[in-house]
Amino acid sequence: MAGASNRPISPHLQIWKWGPAMLVSILHRVSGDGLSIVGSAVFLWWLGALAGGEQSYLTFTRHMGEWYGQVLLIGLTWAFFNHTASGIRHLVLDIGAGFELKSNQLWSILTPLIALALTGATWAYILLR
């Protein structure tokens, strides 16, 4: 093909400089996937436990009350808050605001911190009431 060697090469991860916006974008995708896959599985298990009767529901609540169930639920809570905060950030970007470098970096750093704070506050409320 004539002139093909002069075409630009698409950059890959080894060329890009990592930054907060890149991390937030990846976390947004990971948390969305986690919510859809793991969240759906837990939700379907919960529905099946409800339909299965008292013993089935007690088995579900026993597993969710164990340390691994708590880790799973805390992870889903973080995924929810992270995906929501990141979605709001993307909504602001979609309307044309927040593209200034300092503003974009600030909100890229604050987004996961807000998700962590909301997750901590939610679980503190649940566990300490």
pLDDT digits 0-9 by tens, 81-102: 999 999 999 999 899 888 888 9
Banded pLDDT at 109 (limits 50, 70, 90)? very high
pLDDT digits 0-9 by tens, 28-63: 999 999 999 999 999 999 999 999 999 999 999 999
Banded pLDDT at 19 (limits 50, 70, 90)? confident
- pLDDT at 3 (0 to 100): 56
Full-model pTM: 0.84
Q: How far apart are CA 115 and CA 91, in angstroms?
A: 16
| Nearest by Cα to 60 from 76, 74, 75, 42 | 42
> Would you say 83 is a known binding-site residue?
yes
In the predicted model, is pLDDT for residue 103 greater than 70? yes
- 57 or 18, greater pLDDT: 57
pLDDT above 70: percentage of residues in the chain = 89
Report how far apart, in Å, the C-alpha atoms of 14 and of each of 17, 25, 99 are: 8, 17, 24
Cβ atoms of 74 and 119 closer than 8 Å:
yes
Q: Which domains, ranges and CATH numbers included, belong to the chain?
A: 19-128 (1.20.1300.10)
- pLDDT at 7 (0 to 100): 66
